[in-house]
Amino acid sequence: MTHDLIARDAAAFFHQESSSPCPFALKSAQGVWLEDIEGRRFIDLHGNTAHHLGYGHPRLIAALKEQLHTLPFSPRRFTNETAVRLAEKLLDHWPGAPAKVLFATGGSDAIEIALKLARVATARHETISFEGSYHGHGFGAFGLSSAEPDARLGPFLPGRHHVPGYWQSEDGPMITLTEMSRIFDESRTGIAAVIAEPIRSNCHLPPEGFWPAVRRLCDVHGAKLIFDEIPSGLGKTGRFFAFEHVGVVPDAVVLGKALGGGVAPIAAVIADARLDVAADLDLGHYTHEKNPLTTRAALTTIEIIEEDGLAARAARLGDHVIAEIAKLATKYPVIKGARGKGLLLAIDFAPEACGMEPGPRFTDRLVETFWQEGLSATEKGQTGMGFSPPLTITDSEITEALARIERVAGLLA
């Protein structure tokens, strides 16, 4: 049965590196659990970082059913109560100067809105981003990820500058700042924006003082600082915005993925209101920009995060998981420890402990062993696996996930 559906999938869809072929066929998703059509159940430690509330949260589903029966769609020339309430709710969380918002249907589109805002506000077009990062797949957003994307795709936006990530070596932060400063000084037309994740989705934490130093560079050179919190925002790290951990407020932040509660596709840009200088341009203008169904999903998601204290819960559970993984590391040499913030975590493994080298062969083995033990997760770098469950995961489910990771360690040893 699984084989047949996977074969039909492979025949119907264009193939691409990260999603073809599919390894399993899904039947249901509820809370932290996935069940495939063969009846195998998995604790989802990945969820594309979209399942902050888990799958099928009953309050969210009820709100969407109600919305479908009242106002299911709103053409662009009309506003509606739900979209405005979502905008106001997001602005209530913004800790900086007065701000405004725009919505899009996905994170990649929202990144490009933020780039447009920075371009028109600075009258520049050049950008600085981290080599090996990921900001989406639009020609603007994807070009931020690598200085040399696949040549078959043709040219990307001009003026892209890439610096080594601060996580790449012990001297990485200083190398990053030095290279960034050089680019600022040597740019002929000026830098419009620096764009990066404040805390990487790969769970590498920036050293203290790093982002304040970047903020100073941006301010000195008149550039805007854009934070991509598509995977890390909305309480995942233990605070509503991930940037609240790093000591600076950006000029713009982009949210996505979990904003729709794991049900609806929606993303948002929140930016300093002083960037509102292009009323004569269409910066987003998407068909579903103020869709009452997707905005109701986002509004309800944020209300649940607030009222259930899920950001604080993520902080508490994250500390617990890191401590428990540290205990496992004393028993199993193949486990090195965990890193990250809140429930945006990665577990580092030691490939040499099982006679392997860092790289795809090792991470493939990790993924397969996790699957074997009923854990859905994804690799983080050459030696790590993500631990990013919903903020609603129960204490007993955390205990069960850790027990399964211990079994993984026993199999790898």
Question: Could you give the residue numbers annotated as active site?
Answer: 134
Determine the Cα–Cα distance for residues 86 and 293; give it in Å rounded to an integer.
11
Determine the Cα–Cα distance for residues 199 and 340; give it in Å rounded to an integer.
8
Long-range pairs of 382-386 with CB within 8 A, sequence gap ≥ 24: 382/358, 383/336, 383/348, 383/349, 383/350, 383/351, 383/358, 384/202, 384/203, 384/346, 384/347, 384/348, 384/349, 385/45, 385/346, 385/347, 385/349, 386/45, 386/46, 386/203, 386/345, 386/346, 386/347
Q: From the CB of residue 19, how many other CB atoms can be counted at a distance below 10 Å? A: 10
Alpha helices in 34-80 (DSSP H): 58-70
Residue 347: half-sphere exposure toward Cβ, Cα within 13 Å: 35
**DSSP-derived 3-state class of residue 195:** strand
**DSSP-derived 3-state class of residue 171:** coil
Determine the Cα–Cα distance for residues 250 and 272; give it in Å rounded to an integer.
8
